[in-house]
Structure 1
Amino acid sequence: MIKIHDLTFTPFIDKSQIDSAISKMAEKIQKDYAGKTPVFLGVLNGAFPFVAALTQKISGNCEVEFTKLRSYAGTQTTQQVQELIGVNNLKGRDVIVLEDIVDTGHTLTKIINILENQEVSSYKIATLFYKPEAYHQNHSLDYIGIEIPNKFIVGFGLDYDGLGRNLPEVYQLIETQHD
C-alpha cells in the first residue's frame, strides 16, 4: 500500500499487465496503419508514459504530438474540460489519440471536436485504461488496453493532485476513507 497526500491506495495492476496490454495495442495499431505514417496525439499530463511505451513498440514511421487538457480536481471529474496546450496543424493527417484513461468521456469529446475542426483525414482513439461503467459518450474506442471498474486509480501517468504519475504500476483508492 502507498499513501499519497491524505489517501491510501492498494496495488491494482502490475507493470507486466500494463506492458502486455500496450504490446497487444501496438500490434493492432501496426496492422491497421501498415504503410502509413500516423500521428500519435498524446493527452498530457497523464498519457506521457503510455505514449512513450506504445510508440517504442511501433516499427515504421510515426510522429508524436501532444495536447494538454484538464478535467479533474482531486479525485473527481469537474465535468468541464480546459484546453491548456493546443495541437499543431493536423489537417489531412491520420491521428491516433492516446489517452491514459477514458471514464466519463468529456475529455474525449473535446479532443474529437478539436480534430474535426482541424480537418484530420482520420482519427482513432486508444486508451490504456477504460471505465465502461462511467463512460457516457457515443464515441467509439478503437484500442482499449485494460477495462477497469469505476474506481479512482493512480500510477503509470495517472495522478492524485499532481502526485503518483511516476509509479510504474497502478494503485486503486481504498474506498473506506473517501466519499
Structure 2
Amino acid sequence: MKNKNNIRALTGMSQENLALLLQVSRSQIAMFETGKRNLPIQAMEKLALLLTLSQKESTTTETKKATRTQEQEFLQNCIVKNKHQQLLVARKINNFIKKQERIAVLEKMNRLIMQEEKNLKNYDLSLLKYSTTKNQTQPNCNTLLIALQLKKKVLEYEEQLIKEQLKETNSPLTKDKKTK
C-alpha cells in the first residue's frame, strides 16, 4: 500500500510508538507499511480512529490559524485606522492653535488701532473692528482644545490596547509551534 508510510507522517509517531499504541509489534508495523502483511482487525480499528482524530485535530489547527490570521489582519486595520484618526486630531489641534495665535495677533492689532483711533477715519476703524470680531472664536475655545487633546490621548491609549491584543493573538501560534 503506497500511503501506509504516510500513516506515521500523519500521526507524527515512530514505528515503536505506533506499535505500542496499536498493541502490535514494531515488525508488524514495518511489514504493514511495506505491504507485506495486514494488521489485526483491532489494530486497524484503532489506526482508523487515530487517523480520524489526527485529521480532525489538523483541521481544527488550520481553522484556528485561519481565525488568528483574520484577527491579526483586523487588528492591523484597526491600528491603521487609529493612526489616521490620531493624525486628523493632531491636525485639528495644530490648526486650532494656529487660529488662536492669529486671533491673538488680531486682537493685539485691534488694541493698538483703538489707541490710535484718533488718527484713523471712522470708516476704516469700523472695518477693522468687524474683521477682528468676525474671526474670534467662541468663548469656550479652551474647552474645545482640551476636548481635542483628550480625544488624542484616548486614541493613543486605544492604539496601545490594539497592539496588546495583537500580541495576544500572536502568542498562541508560538505556543502551538512549541508543543509540536
Q: TM-score range by the shorter chain?
A: under 0.3
> Which protein has the bigger strand share?
1
Structure 1 or 2: larger helix share?
2
